[in-house]
Amino acid sequence: MESNVGAIEQDINTTYLGLLRYKWLIIIGTVLSACLSVVVALNQPNTFTAQVFLSPVEKSQSGGISKLAGQFGGLASMAGISLGGSEGSDVEAALEFMQSRGFLQTFITQRKLMPDLLALKSWDQDTKKPIYNRETYDPSINSWTREPLPGKNVIPSAWEGYNKLLSQINTTYLKKKNLIELKVTTVSPELSVNVTNWLIEDVNRFWREKDKKESEEAIEYLKNQALETNVSELRTVFYELIADQTRTKLLSSVGDYHLLKPLSPVVYPEEKSGPSRALICIGITFFGGLLFLILALLLTLRSREKEV
């Protein structure tokens, strides 16, 4: 037993002495990794995050439908009409819609965001102006100058900008507080604020038009059903539903915020939110030093095999 322990200790000492032969390899490798980390960290552009909390807009028309369901629910169900049941969460649907390709690609096109997504390099804090990659886009003449990849055009499509924009948007639904946290992070504080405000505006506009269209279709359907039925109770249900849908249609035209309302205006971010250059330097230096340590260990084991 003691001989085994002694052999292990001797093996460890031999390996340690072998590593000392490559100590300069480890030191130089770690120093080079540290220098590389500084270069990488300094070349990372600052990012700025615009943040806002959104509150779902309360809709009061559900009370009328609930009352009708209590009075005529049984009769309506016999006629194939549903007055209750789950309508699903418009808020959760809106959050998914906000990150969908169909919405964001239209959003990119309408807001003309392609240069900011694919060519924006950084933000000049002194002049308060964006800096573009001139090899990709020339803002002075509003022209694309990039060399496109195979199968792509010089002028990029919204399809190319979707993934970039999606990575800049972060939404969190706080169910207990019934609030939505929306964050947009870009290299330009001005762009972060604009995109945040535009997202709120466009999602509300889409839901307003959606509810208005659905109400108009429901009113037309209910009017036809009211004319066809001979049951006075059902006719009462139809007219109540028509009044409720008419109220929904009128409310959809009132106010700037139809579904999601910001609790406060979006604040212009004056300080950067990232990147953490200290963590970048520490991470690259650590993994670089570890890599050269492993390399030195492999060289030590290889030299020992040759000696045997």
Looking at residue 18, its pLDDT comes to 67
Looking at residue 252, its pLDDT comes to 59
pLDDT tens-digit map of 160-212 = 999 999 999 999 998 888 899 999 999 999 999 999 999 999 999 998 888 88
pLDDT tens-digit map of 129-160 = 999 999 999 998 889 999 888 878 888 989 99
**DSSP summary character for residue 46:** P
> How many C-beta atoms lie closer than 10 Å to residue 117's C-beta?
21
Separation between Cα atoms, residue 237 and residue 76, nearest integer Å? 8
Q: Residue 133's closest CA among 106, 151, 115, 109? A: 115
User: Residues with Cβ < 8 Å from 196, sequence gap 6 or more?
Assistant: 50, 51, 52, 182, 184, 266
Q: How far is CA 38 from the centre of its chain?
A: 29
Burial 124-159 (b: 16+ CB within 10 A, else e): eeeeeebbbeeebbeeeeeebebeeeeeeeeebebe
Average pLDDT over residues 210-215: 80
> pTM here?
0.76
Q: Of 190-199, 241-250, 288-297, which range is least confident? A: 241-250
User: Percent of the chain scored above 90 by pLDDT?
Assistant: 37
Domain parsing of the chain, residue ranges: 1-44+275-308, 45-274
Asked if 275 contacts 187 with a C-beta cutoff of 8 angstroms, the reply is no
